[in-house]
């Protein structure tokens, strides 16, 4: 870069990244000016010699050596502040790295997903969970596989999670060409998507209500010695619920008994332990999804890869200014300068009143934030303790005692553990204090499931259930009162309208008679004008260009063809699945499902 181009670049792009640091030059100038005046006026001869004789007896000009420390102090301060302000004028290209973790969502679409042990059914609630997972995917590739009696790919691995999100609402068990729950074929297809994409590591998220135990060994062999982790979201409850059928009846077995599919929690947990994966029951909160999608030690820097993009950043030259500060700082150690600087600082500190907060901050330098939070918590200051704690459990406890229940919920939720019942118990207490009774009961249920003899959780759940019933009863009473008041207002309005109609009937009859007489006169006057308007309209229509018969036919056929195009993604997916299933039957490649497998 030649000199002229550098000057032009400086003129166009020179600026400071942190210009507010330049305000620190003001106290530097004030300090140097103050010390300069003290250096000039300070003399012990002022008290011994008359002021009129001082100019003739003393040399008023100071040597340069006596003023050098002040100049050096101002120079060091200025260079340090300029470095902190971040002077820049040129950009450099910075390579961009993208996370290469892949996620394949394997979604069970067997008939048991219509069970209504969740409101309104398992299918609707599990779709919300899948959408939550897609919302959390800010980077990386995602795929969606659905399965019943056979597995089908909705979308391969792609970074466009918006498209997947648009397809999820249209998915339902009725579009599957074969009944059943062939989880082995689904895991095999998910593994194939990851392998074909060249993903060295990835996650398979299985959303289901059960996996047959005889399929555990096959799934374990598929995931053995791979970098793919299996996470399982259990859908449903262990009590189960019947599957609605046509005509208001429920799905029945061959013997006529009503089928009640239950969540096979033990089987899913055993499968997760077999493949070193994760399992969690579906919950009303987002704790289940957060736990399954947590990165922890499974994610490494090897999953980062460079992309064909560059991100331009400003090249700071501030650090180079510090190279000038180092040799100038060495001059401070000259004889007498350190003592002079120490005396000056001591004088200024004596003139400046000290605040007790500074002593506390000096003590805090030797403690961590959690230790300082413990001190504040012990001193009955939970608000300060909540702001100091970094441990989410302690932070949640402090926020809870401070009355900040939303912050306590957020802290306790981030500290949840699938093996610690107390963490769910604390979260339930925070929800209960915040009047979120339903979520509090759900947290208590998880705590009791992890530790059945948790007396506090059982006791608090009973209390919260009573509060929830009272709240629902109050809401019903309020709604009834509002409905009665609305009916009374409506009756009053109807009575007023009837009175107004009775009063306005004679006036309307008189107006109607007057209008009929006026309309007859206007009709007689406007007859010649109507004839002229018809003639002009006919002339204008004759001037408009008319399409030929061939063009009309082609346009009509195009419109009919466009109307025949099916824009429903559900029907398109159903046809795709049926075509794939028939092709696989002909090729005899799939249908690993045995004849004994149940259809739900």
- Which residues of the chain fall short of a pLDDT of 70? 1-6, 9-10, 38-51, 54-67, 94-100, 295-312, 331-367, 417-418, 500-568, 588-597
* Inter-helix orientation angle 64-85/337-351, to 10°: 70
Distance of CA 95 to the CA centre of its chain: 26
Angle at 224 between CA 222 and CA 230, to 5 degrees: 75
Residues comprising the chain, all counted? 600
pLDDT of residue 360: 43
- What does the block give as tokens for 316? 């700071």
pLDDT of residue 1: 55
Q: Is 484 exposed, middle or buried (0-12, 13-18, 19+ CB in 10 A)?
A: exposed
Cα–Cα distances in Å, from 109 out to 112, 128, 130, 206, 208? 8, 15, 13, 11, 8
> For residues 386 and 398, is the Cβ–Cβ distance under 8 A?
yes
CB 305: neighbour CB atoms within 10 A? 9
Name which of 258, 270, 158 is nearest 213 in CA terms: 270
pLDDT tens string 263-316: 999 999 999 999 999 999 999 888 999 999 886 544 445 555 555 555 667 888
d(CA 277, CA 205): 10
CB 533: neighbour CB atoms within 10 A? 10
φ and ψ at residue 398, rounded to 5 degrees? -65, -45
The model's pTM: 0.48
d(CA 9, CA 90): 8
Which residues, including other chains, have CB under 8 Å from residue 32's CB and lie 6 or more apart? 70, 73, 74
pLDDT of residue 269: 95
Residue with tokens 């009863």: 473
> For residues 123 and 243, is the Cβ–Cβ distance under 8 A?
no
Q: Is 274 exposed, middle or buried (0-12, 13-18, 19+ CB in 10 A)?
A: middle
Distance of CA 298 to the CA centre of its chain: 21
> For residues 190 and 145, is the Cβ–Cβ distance under 8 A?
yes
In which element (H, E) is residue 128 found?
helix 122-136
pLDDT tens string 415-453: 776 677 888 888 888 888 888 888 888 888 888 888 888
> For residues 86 and 318, is the Cβ–Cβ distance under 8 A?
yes
pLDDT of residue 306: 53
- What does the block give as tokens for 8? 């032009």
pLDDT of residue 199: 86
- What does the block give as tokens for 38? 């003290």
In which element (H, E) is residue 540 found?
helix 455-543
pLDDT tens string 356-395: 443 444 455 456 777 777 888 778 888 888 888 888 888 8
Pairing mode of beta strands 228-234, 278-281 = parallel
Name which of 461, 404, 412, 407 is nearest 432 in CA terms: 461
pLDDT of residue 538: 47
* 151: helix, strand or coil: strand
Which structural domains are found in the chain, ordered by start? 3-89+316-342 (no CATH), 98-306 (3.40.50.410), 359-466 (1.25.40.10)
């Amino acid at each position: 870069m030649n000199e002229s181009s550098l000057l032009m670049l400086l003129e166009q792009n020179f600026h400071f990244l942190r210009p507010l640091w330049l305000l620190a030059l003001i106290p530097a100038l004030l300090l140097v000016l103050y010390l300069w005046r003290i250096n000039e006026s300070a003399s012990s001869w002022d008290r011994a010699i008359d002021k009129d004789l001082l100019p003739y007896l003393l040399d008023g000009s100071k040597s340069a050596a006596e003023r050098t420390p002040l100049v050096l102090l101002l120079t060091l301060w200025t260079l340090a502040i300029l470095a902190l302000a971040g002077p820049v004028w040129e950009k450099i290209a910075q390579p961009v790295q993208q996370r290469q973790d892949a996620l394949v969502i394997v979604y069970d679409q067997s008939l048991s997903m219509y069970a209504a042990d969740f409101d309104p059914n398992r299918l609707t609630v599990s779709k919300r969970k899948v959408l939550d997972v897609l919302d959390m995917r800010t980077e990386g590739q995602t795929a969606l596989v659905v399965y019943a009696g056979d597995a089908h790919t909705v979308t391969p691995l792609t970074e466009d999670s918006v498209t997947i999100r648009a397809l999820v609402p249209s998915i339902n068990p009725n579009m599957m060409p074969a009944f059943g729950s062939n989880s082995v074929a689904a895991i095999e297809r998910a593994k194939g998507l990851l392998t074909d994409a060249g993903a060295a590591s990835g996650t398979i998220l299985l959303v289901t209500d059960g996996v047959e135990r005889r399929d555990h060994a096959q799934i374990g062999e598929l995931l053995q010695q791979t970098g793919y982790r299996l996470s399982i979201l259990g859908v449903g409850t262990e009590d189960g619920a019947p599957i609605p059928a046509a005509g208001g009846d429920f799905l029945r077995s061959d013997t006529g008994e009503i089928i009640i599919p239950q969540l096979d929690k033990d089987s899913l947990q055993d499968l997760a332990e077999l493949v070193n994966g994760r399992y969690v029951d579906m919950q009303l909160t987002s704790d289940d999804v957060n736990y399954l999608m947590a990165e922890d030690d499974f994610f490494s820097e090897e999953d980062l890869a460079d992309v064909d993009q560059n991100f331009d950043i400003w090249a700071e030259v501030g650090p180079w200014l510090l190279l000038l500060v180092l040799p100038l700082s060495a001059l401070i150690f000259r004889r007498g300068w350190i003592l002079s600087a120490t005396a000056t600082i001591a004088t200024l500190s004596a003139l400046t009143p000290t605040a007790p907060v500074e002593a506390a901050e000096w003590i805090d330098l030797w403690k961590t934030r959690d230790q300082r939070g413990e001190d504040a918590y012990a001193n009955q200051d939970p608000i300060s303790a909540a702001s100091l704690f970094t441990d989410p459990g302690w932070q949640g406890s402090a926020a809870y005692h401070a009355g900040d229940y939303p912050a306590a919920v957020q802290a306790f939720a981030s500290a949840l553990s699938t093996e610690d019942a107390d963490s769910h118990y604390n979260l339930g207490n925070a929800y209960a204090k915040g009047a979120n009774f339903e979520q509090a009961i759900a947290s208590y249920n998880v705590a009791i499931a992890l530790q059945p003899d948790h007396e506090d959780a059982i006791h608090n759940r009973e209390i919260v259930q009573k509060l929830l019933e009272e709240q629902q009863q109050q809401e019903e009473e309020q709604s009834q009162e509002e409905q009665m008041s609305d009916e009374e207002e409506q009756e009053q309005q109807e009575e007023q309208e009837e009175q107004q109609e009775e009063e306005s009937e004679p006036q309307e009859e008189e107006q109607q008679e007057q209008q009929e007489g006026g309309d007859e006169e206007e009709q007689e006057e406007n007859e010649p004008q109507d004839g002229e308007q018809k003639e002009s309209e006919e002339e204008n229509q004759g001037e408009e260009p008319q399409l030929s018969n061939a063009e009309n036919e082609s346009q009509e056929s195009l419109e009919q063809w466009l109307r025949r195009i099916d824009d429903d993604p559900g029907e398109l997916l159903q046809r795709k699945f049926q075509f794939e299933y028939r092709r696989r039957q002909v090729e005899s490649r799939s249908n690993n499902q045995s004849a004994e497998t149940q259809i739900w």
